[in-house]
Amino acid sequence: MSALKYQFNNDYSELAHPQVLAALSAVGYSQFEGYGLDEYCLKAIDLIREKTAMPTADVHFASGGTHANLIVLAASLRPFEAVIATTLGHINTHETGAIEATGHKICPVAEKDGKLTAGDIQAIVDYHEGEHMVKPRAVYISQSTELGSVYNRAELTALHECCKANGLYLYADGARLGAAINSQWCDLSYADFANLVDAFYIGGTKNGAIYGEAIVIINDEIKPAFRYYLKQHGALLAKSAGMGIQFTALFTEGLYDDLARHANSMGARLAAGITGLGYELLSPIQTNQVFPILPASIVEQLHKIYGFHDWESYGETAAIRLVASWATKEEKIDQFLEDLAALS
């Protein structure tokens, strides 16, 4: 990787924020309970309940997002029940069939700017009738989405109401929840957000932790026996304290939001610079992910000096994905923009 000036592939390229590492190092040889019952997990749970204004929420930890997704859905769905997601939904495309491997069908819907609408959901529900078809029972969204967009209050309320009307759980993949809530396009607090969904997870891995996601369960129906699901799928870590310590560090003194705001701000700077050079974006910039459409020849040149993902090819042009992170320094953005300008 040393040959590249910087890599914008994703927001998990740097290990962890110094405060997170310091917190891990601080505990020394003190002894803890295991399996999510240690004092640090309990502290982190308190902080998250407070942050979401959900004193009765159940909070659990898993080491990664695919794991969190499959476990929440396994605990929510009976064998013949299905989950609705966009065709771009992470569970539909990039989790190697993890949901199907636990026995459940995903009903895919074409997205618009990465998002689902209540109308999309209703159409899927209406299509499924009787025991010859699966029964949609949950809706999966990503906040922020795979295209970096966010659901605002009106949009999420519409999904919430549609789900309630149809007996569907609304589950949100919050791998980048910090980026979403701290986006200027998002008029939802954590509490507002938690109030509109049945379960979600708060991503640690993509916002300053080494590993770990905090699963938050709002709906009482999904709570019972959740620890059985965690254990059965291998997510109930013996040294849960490792995640408790990290989330405590992230949710003390606003570190989690600070990091997310920084990532968003770097994304905005990148987007502004790129559009300033006359290029268009595939999807509006709302968080830390930027999808510029560039001449294919420039993309080829850029690959020699920066790391990033090719998103979609249109022949002469191509969309690429650039991700800014909690750790991205302004100077890297400026260097990239300078290099892009030079290639343009």
The CB-of-306 to a second copy minimum distance in angstroms stands at 11
Stretch touching a second copy by CB under 8 A, among 8-16, 48-56, 191-199, 262-270 = 8-16
Which residues, 6 or more positions from 298, have their beta carbon under 8 angstroms from its beta carbon? 340, 343, 344
From residue 33, how far is each of 42, 122, 177, 278 by CA, in Å? 11, 46, 29, 56
Q: From the CB of 101, what's the least distance to a second copy, in Å?
A: 5
Residue 130 tokens, joined: 């009787």
Minimum distance, C-beta of residue 14 to a second copy, in the bound complex (Å): 5
Which residue is associated with the tokens 């343009």? 344
Least separation in angstroms between residue 182's CB and a second copy is 21
Residue 278 sits in the site that holds a second copy (CB under 8 A): no
- Integer angstrom CA distances of residue 259 from 4, 11, 205, 272: 24, 11, 12, 20
Residues 47, 184 contacting (CB under 8 angstroms): no
Phi, then psi, of 87 in degrees rounded to 5 = -60, -30
By CB under 8 A, is residue 14 in contact with a second copy? yes
- Whether the bond into 144 is cis, omega within 30 of 0: yes
Output the smallest distance, CB 198 to a second copy, in A. Answer: 18
Q: Report which of 101, 118, 115, 107 is spatially closest to residue 81, judged by C-alpha positions.
A: 107
Binding mask 72-111 for a second copy (x = CB under 8 A): --x---xxx-x----------xxxxxx-xxxxxxx-x---
Contact window for a second copy (CB under 8 A) among 33-41, 145-153, 180-188, 193-201: 33-41
261 binds a second copy (CB under 8 A): no
Give the 3-state secondary structure of residue 312: strand
b/e per residue 64-98 (b: at least 16 CB within 10 A): ebbbbbbbbbbbbbeeebbbbbbebbbbbeebeeb
Binder of a second copy out of 13, 19, 195, 301 (CB under 8 A): 13
Using rule CB under 8 A, residue 1 touches a second copy: yes
Question: Per rule CB under 8 A, is residue 335 in the interface with a second copy?
Answer: no
Count interface residues toward a second copy (CB under 8 A).
Answer: 82
Q: Which parts of 130-169 interact with a second copy (CB under 8 A)?
A: 131-135
Matching residue, tokens 């636990």: 102
For residue 329, the minimal CB distance to a second copy (Å) is 8
Q: What distance in Å separates the CA atoms of residue 52 and residue 62, rounded to the nearest whole number? A: 19
Q: Which of the ranges 52-60, 115-123, 126-134, 186-194 carries the binding residues for a second copy, by CB under 8 A?
A: 126-134
Q: Is 293 in the site for a second copy (CB under 8 A)?
A: no
Q: How far is the CB of 157 from a second copy (least distance, A)?
A: 30
Using the minimum distance from each CB to a second copy, give the nearer residue, 194 or 323. 323
